[in-house]
């Protein structure tokens, strides 16, 4: 499957400060990529570089096969972008604003009406299309922002915090819209709301202190949870004593005699095997690592250590 976005060794420096440090990733059709990170991790700088609003210090960005640095106008034509604060002219009606955006995209007059109608229908704006944007709820203003981002049918859509400040019903509606858009586009969802990523994304990446520290398919992450167990053994048993055992796919030391193991065998067989090895098994439980726990472990470990 061809990549809609290809990022290679991307870095951004502000003087001596490195905001983004050598990150690489791909985005394909059908991907909804959750891009996570704590405040100051480098999310916004990365999104600004991907959207062509900030030049990278080092690295390459290709959008739909076009180099963003060498052919910026052509590359940006394949991109729809919703920043955290939607770029709305609130004194316009929804229809007037989308028509204006269509003109900015140089969509001819004959096509513009049908294209605006399609975006309005897609984003559920039909009954408010003739109202002033300033009189709409924040949820509907977000929908208008998404409508302008998809107006020109871009293969790539970047959404930066699309549900911030919305009520629970509005959040569910925007999430449903994102999932629908993800069927025929590649989407990057930049957020700090972890349940949102689990609700709509099929891939997740975590950035911390400018570096990409985690990348996984959501299904792989959830499937791995079903094969992970936490065990407590005799204090005399070390990781080296059990890591060579063929039944374990991986062994991680959690504390002195507490280990996180991964195995494809049923729990009963793992317990029986461990007892036969005389490792002094005193605790065995399934280990369910949520995305929240992964995020905390990866982004707070260094802070705790210091």
Answer whether residue 297 shows pLDDT above 80.
no
Joined together, the tokens standing for residue 33 give 């990529």
Kind plus residue range of the DSSP H or E element containing 13: strand 3-14
Q: Which of 125, 195, 186 is nearest to 163 (CA)?
A: 195
Q: Which pLDDT value is given to residue 291?
A: 79
Q: Structural domain boundaries of the chain?
A: 3-216, 226-305
* Backbone Cα Rg of the chain: 24
- Helices 168-181/109-122 angle, 10° precision: 130
Q: What is the mean pLDDT of residues 256-273?
A: 90
Architecture of domain 3-216: 3-Layer(aba) Sandwich (3.40)
Q: What is the β-pairing status of strands 32-36 and 186-190?
A: parallel
pLDDT at residue 226 in the model? 58
β-bridge pairing 228-232 and 283-286: antiparallel
Q: Would you state the pLDDT for residue 304? A: 42
What pLDDT is recorded for position 223?
Answer: 61
* Spatial contact of 77 and 156, defined as CB atoms under 8 Å apart: no
> Is the sign of the CA dihedral 292, 293, 296, 298 positive or negative?
negative
Decide if pLDDT at 290 tops 80.
no
CATH topology of domain 226-305: Alpha-Beta Plaits (3.30.70)
Instruction: Give me the pLDDT at residue 299, please.
Output: 80
Average pLDDT over residues 186-205: 90
**Reported confidence tier of residue 192, pLDDT bands at 50, 70, 90:** confident
**Residue among 87, 23, 29 nearest 59 (CA):** 23
Residue with tokens 């049918």: 153
Which pLDDT score, from 0 to 100, does residue 28 have? Answer: 93
Average model confidence (pLDDT) for the chain?
A: 89
Per-residue tokens: 153: 């049918």
Distance in angstroms (rounded) separating the CA atoms of residues 94 and 116:
10
Classified as helix, coil or strand, 198 is helix
For residue 146, give the 3-state DSSP assignment: helix
Please give the residue that has the higher pLDDT: either 222 or 275: 275
Looking at the DSSP assignment, which residues form a beta bridge with residue 36? 206
Structure-model confidence comparison of residues 93 and 215, the more confident one = 93
pTM above 0.85, yes or no: no
pLDDT in tens, 5-25: 999 999 999 999 999 999 999
Residue range 194-222: mean pLDDT, rounded: 88
What pLDDT was estimated at residue 283? 94
Q: For residue 288, what pLDDT is reported?
A: 65
pLDDT at 306 over 50: no
pLDDT in tens, 133-191: 999 998 899 999 999 999 999 999 999 888 887 888 888 988 998 999 899 899 999 98
Residue 82 pLDDT greater than 60, yes or no: yes
């Amino acid at each position: 499957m061809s990549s809609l976005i290809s990022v290679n060794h991307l870095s951004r420096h502000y003087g001596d400060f490195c905001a983004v440090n050598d990150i690489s990733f791909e985005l394909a059709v059908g991907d909804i990529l959750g891009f996570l990170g704590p405040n100051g991790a480098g999310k916004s700088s990365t999104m600004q570089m991907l959207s062509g609003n900030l030049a990278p210090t080092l690295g390459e960005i290709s959008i739909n096969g076009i180099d963003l640095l060498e052919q910026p106008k052509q590359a940006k034509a394949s991109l729809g972008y919703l920043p955290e604060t939607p770029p709305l002219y609130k004194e316009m009606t929804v229809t007037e604003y989308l028509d204006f955006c269509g003109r900015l995209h140089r969509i001819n007059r004959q096509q513009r009406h049908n294209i605006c109608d399609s975006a309005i229908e897609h984003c559920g704006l039909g009954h408010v299309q003739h109202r002033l944007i300033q009189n709409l709820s924040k949820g509907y203003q977000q929908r208008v922002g998404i409508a302008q981002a998809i107006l020109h049918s871009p293969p790539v859509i970047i959404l930066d915090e699309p549900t911030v400040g919305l009520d629970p019903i509005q959040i569910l509606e925007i999430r449903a819209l994102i999932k629908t858009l993800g069927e025929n586009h590649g989407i990057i969802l930049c957020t700090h709301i972890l349940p949102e990523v689990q609700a709509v994304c099929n891939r997740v990446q975590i950035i911390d202190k400018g570096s990409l520290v985690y990348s996984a398919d959501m299904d792989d992450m959830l499937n791995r949870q079903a094969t992970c167990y936490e065990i407590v053994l005799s204090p005399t048993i070390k990781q080296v004593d059990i890591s060579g055992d063929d039944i374990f796919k991986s062994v991680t030391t959690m504390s002195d005699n507490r280990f996180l193991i991964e195995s494809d065998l049923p729990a009963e067989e793992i317990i029986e095997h461990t007892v036969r090895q005389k490792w002094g098994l005193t605790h065995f439980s399934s280990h369910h690592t949520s995305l929240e726990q992964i995020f905390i472990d990866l982004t707070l470990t260094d802070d705790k250590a210091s």
